[in-house]
Structure 1
């Protein structure tokens, strides 16, 4: 999940080393096109692109990928009889990286949108939404996006909420004679949180599960001020457009996890709902 943040020849060597260090199994991150029987770039290995700066969805526990998306993809890979490896990539570079053959699938709390569906094939896997964060001791306590007019709001670069805030939310502000939302994009979610803690912005809008983790991590210095989920949306695993083999492999594996009850337990652990539920 981010460009490396821009995504996630000394630089090339360093990148290669990082990918190897993050691999749950050896192999993985090589560019190419899916040609194996299961639709993966490297036969027998599922290479996952994820922004590992985004707890609780995806982050590094030492050098090991952890969180909901690594848990899901490990379970899917095991169900499908595949090994799994991870390529840490900043959020806005995930779709370009998938298209360039750097990895097989994106698992990074990627919201399903019509625009993205033109670029990738989705496998919906859970429903989420967003929450607003503000300084606990501050006077500004926004409950909805209607409270954000003229305010500086930190968001992750490349996220769908950037367009929502600059579009619908800002249009509503100007329609009532107020200034639009001042949307500040950051390469990673932790950078957005730091901007809020340092007073560079007035609020942060981020995934609801992430917001809960931020409140805990900041020892209560920040608080969730929104009372309901903002922009509820379905998230999807994404495979390269036209990769029907891998989509079928992962869809079958997900269905098996759902049938066994293992997936429901995993969703419950992270306080998430199945795709299509609210």
Structure 2
């Protein structure tokens, strides 16, 4: 299954215990493309995936929607070579899950802070969009982890404000962040600390996507941007001589796949398929393909509210 064409929100139909996407709405967006040959034939034909398809007949042959915020190059973004398609590690991982379990993937682009509400409303069946699996977010979805979290601190070249991380170096600066990012409360906590020390505030400027955050630094409206280190390093590479990564931070989170709360069939099926993707070495190959740190790969584990 090749990366699907961009398409609008789809109407959902229930099938067994899992809410499945049945058909797409009309409109001016092009229809989804399909491929007669699987993208990952070795994975699809593996004994583990063959067994999983037989155990999950309510998934095989269906179309499931992945809610994404397609502004994170390397993870999910509009394809450079074909603007009607998405590309990136998370897109490939979505397709691999579909190959293993027998479903087709469609994509629903939304703002980052709308990812969880979109899943909760039933407009999407799952989320794979570089979203950190936290206990707070687990109140809205169950998460299956697949990667450790390392953040980078994007600054202007030369780091004129001498920012070193989420610490006192942020006092008197403005950090550009996506709405809904886990870094927002971390910077807010640092702002409180700055105030208690009699220092200038550590302010935040909130945006809907990563590209706007980066533009805020380039235009001088913000001093830093904190996000996944692979994303930060990619922006540094794309804006050679204009941006730099001031520091790499390890945050106590994991990147996860979000699925509807309490829907054990889809949660268990995704966990088993992800395990096979990792065991086969495919996740490592995808990480190398998209220039991500393969050492950050994490065995599947559940993050729930309980």
Counterpart secondary structure, 1:32? strand
Higher Rg of the two aligned structures: 2
Alpha-carbon contact 2:143-2:257 (below 8 Å) kept: yes
2:121 to 88, 91, 100: 100
Q: Aligned pair 1:68/2:89, yes or no?
A: yes
- Partner of residue 267, structure 1: 287
CA distance in 2 between counterparts of 1:121 and 1:63 reads 30
Alpha-carbon contact 2:73-2:88 (below 8 Å) kept: yes
Alpha-carbon contact 2:159-2:244 (below 8 Å) kept: no
- Partner of residue 9, structure 1: none
Offset of 1:45 from its aligned partner? Answer: 1.4
CA RMSD across the alignment: 2.1
Greater fraction strand: 2
Alpha-carbon contact 1:234-1:276 (below 8 Å) kept: no
Counterpart secondary structure, 1:180? coil
Q: Aligned pair 1:40/2:58, yes or no?
A: no
Q: Is 230-239 or 215-224 further displaced after alignment?
A: 230-239
1:251-262 alignment to 2 at 5 Å? 251-262=271-282
4+ residue stretches of structure 1 with deviation over 4 A?
A: 36-39
Relative to 1, partners in 2 of residues 1:196 and 1:187: Cα closer, same or farther, differing over 3 Å? Answer: same
1:130 to 151, 160, 171: 151
Q: TM-score, normalised by structure 2?
A: 0.77
- Partner of residue 54, structure 1: 72
Counterpart secondary structure, 1:41? strand
2:179 to 157, 167, 170: 157
1:247 to 264, 267, 277: 267
Offset of 1:39 from its aligned partner? Answer: 5.3
Deviations 1:114-158 (A, max 9, x none): 111111011111112211111114522311222101211111111
Deviations 1:174-210 (A, max 9, x none): 2322133101101111001001000111122122111
Q: Aligned pair 1:87/2:108, yes or no?
A: yes
Alpha-carbon contact 2:5-2:86 (below 8 Å) kept: no
Counterpart secondary structure, 1:174? helix
CA distance in 2 between counterparts of 1:268 and 1:37 reads 36
Offset of 1:211 from its aligned partner? Answer: 0.2
Q: Aligned pair 1:202/2:223, yes or no?
A: yes
Alpha-carbon contact 2:149-2:250 (below 8 Å) kept: no
Structure 2: which 5+ residue stretches go unaligned? 23-58, 301-306
Q: TM-score, normalised by structure 1?
A: 0.84
Equivalent residues, number: 252
- Partner of residue 22, structure 1: 6
CA distance in 1 between counterparts of 2:283 and 2:274 reads 8
- Partner of residue 138, structure 2: 117
Offset of 1:254 from its aligned partner? Answer: 0.6
CA distance in 2 between counterparts of 1:139 and 1:100 reads 44
CA distance in 2 between counterparts of 1:183 and 1:136 reads 20
Offset of 1:220 from its aligned partner? Answer: 2.6
CA distance in 2 between counterparts of 1:59 and 1:34 reads 29
- Partner of residue 8, structure 1: none
Offset of 1:54 from its aligned partner? Answer: 1.3
Offset of 1:171 from its aligned partner? Answer: 2.9
Offset of 1:257 from its aligned partner? Answer: 1.1
